[in-house]
Amino acid sequence: MSATPTRHDCIIVGAGIVGLAHALAAARRGRRVLVLDRDAAANGASIRNFGFVTVTGQEAGTVWQLARRSAAIWAEVAPLAGIPIVQRGLLLAAHRPEAEAVLDAFAETEMGRDCHRLPADELARDWPMLVPPRAALWSPHDLRVESAEAIPRLAGWLAAAHGVTFQYGTAVHAVAQGRIETNHGTLFADQIIVCPGDDWSTLFPDLYAEAGITRCKLQMLRLAAPAWRLPSPVMGDLSMVRYLGYAALPQAAALRARLEGEPAAAAALADGIHLIAVQSADGSLVVGDSHHYAPTPDPFASDAIDARILAAYAELLGAPPRVQARWTGTYASAAGHSIVRSPAPDVRLVVVTSGTGASTSFALAEHVLTELMGETA
Ligand SMILES: Cc1cc2nc3c(=O)[nH]c(=O)nc-3n(C[C@H](O)[C@H](O)[C@H](O)COP(=O)(O)OP(=O)(O)OC[C@H]3O[C@@H](n4cnc5c(N)ncnc54)[C@H](O)[C@@H]3O)c2cc1C
């Protein structure tokens, strides 16, 4: 007689931030959760990113609201999970008059309500490391964690505090209503949430294709600790034509035209480069990034692209310190923030397709669980 197979309330495929966010939302609803990941530890986009939970600059409307709610969840969960919030806020520094106009227009929107222009004396006092900008807007909403530490700590806390079980080294090769096939055998669950990031070769490749999902490849750098400390993460003019919260404003068109007319800025734009600089606890800086789109991007980091990222850094922060590390990452990319599909009644495929998973997954997961559990929103 064969033993009755264990049936789980909820199985989640993928232990990146999207999977962990769903594990939290399910566990908070009293579900017994099992998380499966094919790797020995999360090793995808979720540990390669800036760990920058960006609110200000996200697309107006739903995405901005998802980011605000997710930042609140990060702020609540991080201390419980022993995750240091390494930096808070965001400084948006404008060096061109057209960028200042974007900044002013943004400050007038609902999203700019709690942001404020830094007076020149405050800027000079607290931000002496900046190449002096014409203007700067400070946002209080954003925060930063060190992803390579935060993701394992989040998983550890989910296990310890919420009884979530993790099974790494488990490749899932088929999912159907109530049933998962893995390299370690068949598992059964009432609900299954599939969060495989940009791996569409195994599960639901047709749904990825239908949604027009491709991959975005990014180059990132870690620079040696300078003599100063950044009061918060910082972005510059190039970010104002990339992040939709700014780029969708009418004033951004003049900034784009100006940047396209400058050879160095135009070369940066051609590589999808904008500049984010964040600082880690040891003082080193994480700086990036570039964006190139292809279903199978090559795995090579280009020195020329790194040089353009460092040139964008120099425009914002002066001569860059020594490069300590370089890496590439990829994420699933398509038009729109994310896809949530229902390949079977109690199965969901959830993919963040906008490179904002660290910033929006916690809130997205709450929406998915609300719908899946038949709760009133
Ligand atoms: C360089 C870089 C910088 C970024 N910066 C930011 C940022 O500052 N702020 C921000 O909000 N976002 C940022 N992003 C985007 C963000 O990192 C992603 O949106 C997010 O990490 C996606 O999370 P995920 O869980 O879907 O994917 P992943 O982290 O890739 O996790 C997917 C997991 O699923 C597992 N898996 C896949 N298929 C299977 C299978 N068949 N069986 C078992 N396991 C499977 C994989 O092993 C993997 O662990 C950045 C991304 C990159 C690459």
Per residue in 18-60, pLDDT (tens digit) is: 999 999 999 999 999 999 999 999 899 999 999 999 999 999 9
Q: Which atom of ligand 1 is nearest to the CA of 37?
A: 44
Mean pLDDT of 71-98: 98
Mean pLDDT for all residues in the chain: 96
CA of 33 relative to ligand 1 center, distance in Å: 20
Domain 88-142+214-333, architecture per CATH: 2-Layer Sandwich (3.30)
Which residue minimizes the CA distance to atom 14 of ligand 1? 355
What is the distance between the alpha carbons of residues 239 and 95, in angstroms, rounded to a whole number?
A: 12
What is the distance between the alpha carbons of residues 235 and 218, in angstroms, rounded to a whole number?
A: 17
What is the distance between the alpha carbons of residues 48 and 58, in angstroms, rounded to a whole number?
A: 20
End-to-end CA distance of the chain: 45
- Percentage helix, strand, coil for the chain under 3-state DSSP, each rounded to 5: 35, 30, 35
Pocket test residue of 17, 34, 35, 46 for ligand 1, highest count of atoms within 8 A of CB: 46
For 67, 146, 165, 214, 315, the CA distances from 161, given in Å and listed in that order, are 24, 21, 11, 36, 45
Q: At what angle do helices 62-81 and 147-162 cross, to 10 degrees?
A: 70
pTM for the model stands at 0.97
Indicate if ligand 1 lies below 6 Å from the C-beta of 352.
Answer: yes
Indicate if ligand 1 lies below 6 Å from the C-beta of 353.
Answer: no
Mean pLDDT of 77-89: 98
3-state secondary structure of 102: helix
What is the distance between the alpha carbons of residues 199 and 197, in angstroms, rounded to a whole number?
A: 6
What is the distance between the alpha carbons of residues 29 and 369, in angstroms, rounded to a whole number?
A: 9
Residues spanned by CATH 3.30.9.10 within the chain? 88-142+214-333
- Condensed to tens digits (0 to 9), the pLDDT of residues 160-186 reads 999 999 999 999 999 999 999 999 999
Query: How high is the pLDDT of residue 1?
Result: 47
Q: What are phi and psi of 372, to 5 degrees?
A: -65, -35
- Condensed to tens digits (0 to 9), the pLDDT of residues 212-260 reads 999 999 999 999 999 999 999 999 999 999 999 999 999 999 999 999 9
Q: What sign does the dihedral 52-56-59-63 (CA atoms) show? A: positive
Q: What are phi and psi of 337, to 5 degrees?
A: -70, -40
CA of 14 relative to ligand 1 center, distance in Å: 9
Pocket test residue of 49, 167, 339, 347 for ligand 1, highest count of atoms within 8 A of CB: 49
Domain 1-51+146-211+335-377: assigned CATH number: 3.50.50.60
What is the distance between the alpha carbons of residues 23 and 21, in angstroms, rounded to a whole number?
A: 5
CA of 43 relative to ligand 1 center, distance in Å: 8
- Condensed to tens digits (0 to 9), the pLDDT of residues 277-319 reads 999 999 999 999 999 999 999 999 999 999 999 999 999 999 9
Query: How high is the pLDDT of residue 5?
Result: 67
Residues spanned by CATH 3.50.50.60 within the chain? 1-51+146-211+335-377
CA of 19 relative to ligand 1 center, distance in Å: 9
10 Å Cβ neighbour count for 30? 9
Indicate if ligand 1 lies below 6 Å from the C-beta of 236.
Answer: no
CA of 311 relative to ligand 1 center, distance in Å: 28
pLDDT bucket at 7, cuts 50 / 70 / 90: confident
10 Å Cβ neighbour count for 270? 11
Q: Which atom of ligand 1 is nearest to the CA of 151?
A: 29
Q: What percent of the chain has pLDDT over 70?
A: 98
Q: Which atom of ligand 1 is nearest to the CA of 202?
A: 41
pLDDT bucket at 3, cuts 50 / 70 / 90: low
Q: At what angle do helices 252-260 and 97-107 cross, to 10 degrees?
A: 160
Burial of 105 (0-12, 13-18, 19+ CB in 10 A): middle
Pocket test residue of 34, 50, 172, 339 for ligand 1, highest count of atoms within 8 A of CB: 50
CA of 44 relative to ligand 1 center, distance in Å: 5
Mean pLDDT of 320-343: 98
Q: Which atom of ligand 1 is nearest to the CA of 354?
A: 19
107-141 burial: b if 16+ Cβ within 10 Å, else e = beeebbeebebbeeeebeeebebbeebebbbbbeb
